[in-house]
Amino acid sequence: MEPTHLFELVIAMFLAIIALHYAAHRLGLPPSVALLTGGALLAFVPGLPAISVDPELVLVIFLPPLLMDGAWAIALARLRRHMIGIASLAVGAVLFTCAVVAVVAHLIFPSLPWAACAALGAIVAPPDAVSARAVLERVRLPRRLQILLEGESLLNDASGLVLFRFAVAAVATGTFSAGEAVGSFFVLALGGAVVGVVVGTAWVKLVRRLGDEYLIIAATVLLAWISYLLGELLHVSGVIATVTTGLIASWHQHTVFSAATRMRGTSFWTVMIFLMEASVFTLIGLSLRDVVERGGGLTAVIATMGLPMLAILVTLVVARFAWVFASDLVISFCAALGVTRAQPLGAGGATVLSWAGVRGVITLALALSLPEGFPGRDFILATSFAVILGTVLVQGTTLGRVIAWARLVETETERARLTMSQAEVAMVQAQLGTVQSLAYDAEGKLIHPQLLDRYQRRATVIVDYAERTEHYKPVLHAHFDVVLEAVATGRRELIRLHRAGDIDDETLDELERDLDLEELSAISAKA
């Protein structure tokens, strides 16, 4: 394909993404479902060139920034608190699912080597970070379940990648050592964590020296790929390296970023991640054409592989349910004996956690990376796509209903000690203390009376609001509705003055930025 045509195809894909995302919003569907099905339908449009996805390139381009974004947004304190549960899902559930899928695949196709069955298990076992977030952003979960799913999706890719590579090597060599695989996993994970710490620490020191906000944003965007590629270059886990780097950068960004850097960087990063996530689902859909053609056509694939693919999909779901409910039973037993203070999820929480295992880009990339001539390659490819399609379309669209059925409630241990209003009181009182100390000169004369009065009145109002939040909410919403109307009126007048030639572009930009900040502040206060 000509480079110009390839670029035209990429632009067309972005336009399709916008249209599909808008359609999903209008129809009330998860965007991932619309993007996946839309990409699959576009793949069979007559005259459209076949899309051949390079799995290694997909992993290198898309995985690092998406992992970095997940690590950046995750609550680090809750991640540490629930690390045992996350490790159980990211390592234990992946190993268990891989083993169960391998057994079922071998029962269906006895002639398929055990190592090839294990490769299939490793491909479909880890839920995907991109798919999980695409589903979770449309639902509301208790904090404990949210952190378990987010932490699992960040770390389980490393487990799946290690298992996959050992299974493929076992097919080539005819030998497999479980002990060597486990040992290799811990070495790769530890090495990746070390690389992540080094890269993250270097980033903190660099940002503090750069000074220019655009250089800081550029360095932060490149951070994801630097940590991932360096980890892979040193033959350790690039996934763990990227996640570790993201956690360090997230922790320090509150102190090394200026307000302008944070606002501009967040805006740029959000749009970039949106396009990347959407592109992943669209590319998965577009790759269906290649998978179907390899299987001899859609009718042939369904006729020869339909039931085995369905059996693997059901096995995946059942295996995850079995692991989650068994783990919850162990927690209940340990809590009854006083061994642990952790509380079990209960039937509702365990059901939601089990049903949220959506597969995506990792599954597709690993399947496509199987070497030519690999035993059962066509079946593994078709099954991998069926698993992605089934989990996104079925579990992704019904998770909200499952959550509503479960009637989950937030436990007291997961609630923060302070509400947002109480935190605002603490913040404004600290600000008032600083203003009070600086409002007087060295001789004790008040030199900033208006500023002192402003902060005193603000502290009084916020304290009163925190004590009577429910009473003030309707009044507060009405207040900021008026503010937003005033901002809109001011914006119209500003544009009128600019169009009439009464003010120049610099004045327009400066005053418009003030209005933007006022509007964002009012919208945030209403939320």
Cα–Cα distance measured from residue 148 to residue 328, given in angstroms and rounded to the nearest whole number: 13
Mean pLDDT of 412-438: 78
Tokens of 120: 């299939």
pLDDT digits over 366-383, tens only?
887 787 788 888 888 888
Contact present, 50 and 149 (Cβ < 8 Å) = no
pLDDT for 71 equals: 86
Is the pLDDT score of 412 beyond 60? no
pLDDT tens sequence across 77-126 = 788 888 888 888 988 999 999 999 999 999 999 988 888 998 999 999 98
Q: Which of 80-94, 223-237, 272-286, 480-494 has the lowest mean pLDDT?
A: 272-286
440 strand-pairing partners: 446
Q: Where are the domains of the chain?
A: 3-414, 420-526
Residues contacting residue 488 through CB under 8 Å, at least 6 positions apart: none
Residues 130-137 have a mean pLDDT of 65
Do residues 103 and 95 lie in contact, with contact meaning Cβ atoms separated by under 8 Å? no
> Helices 114-124 and 298-337 meet at what angle, rounded to 10?
70
Is residue 404 very low, low, confident or very high in pLDDT (cuts 50, 70, 90)?
confident
pLDDT score at 143: 80
What is the rounded distance in angstroms from the CA atom of residue 16 to the CA atom of residue 10? Answer: 10
Question: 154 and 74 in contact (C-beta within 8 Å)?
Answer: yes
Task: Please choose, from the candidates 361, 360, 362, 357, the residue with its C-alpha nearest in 3D space to the C-alpha of residue 395.
Answer: 357
Average pLDDT over residues 136-141: 70
Higher pLDDT: 419 or 309? It is 309
Query: In this predicted structure, what is the pLDDT of residue 215?
Result: 93
pLDDT at 416: 66
Top pLDDT among 482 and 28 is at 482
pLDDT at 415: 65
For residues 163 and 168, what is the distance between their CA atoms, to the nearest angstrom?
9
Mean per-residue pLDDT, 35-61: 77
pLDDT band per the 50, 70, 90 thresholds, residue 411? low
**In whole angstroms, what is the distance from residue 233 CA to residue 229 CA?**
6
* Angstrom distances, CA of residue 345 to CA of 49, 155, 190: 49, 21, 30
Q: Can you list the pairs that 474-477 forms with residues at least 24 positions away whose Cβ atoms lie under 8 Å?
A: 476/525, 476/526, 477/526
- In contact, 160 and 121? CB cutoff 8 Å: no
pLDDT of residue 389: 85
Whether pTM exceeds 0.85:
no
Predicted local distance difference test score (pLDDT) of residue 1: 60
Residue 91 DSSP class: I
pLDDT score, position 135: 65
Of 415 and 118, the one with more pLDDT: 118
**Spelled out in words, what is the top-level CATH class assigned to the domain 3-414?**
mainly alpha
Q: Among all chains, which residue has been given the structure tokens 């544009």?
A: 495
b/e 421-451 (16+ beta carbons within 10 angstroms → b): ebeebeebeeebeebeeebeeeeeeeeeeee
For residue 446, give both structure tokens.
């008040």
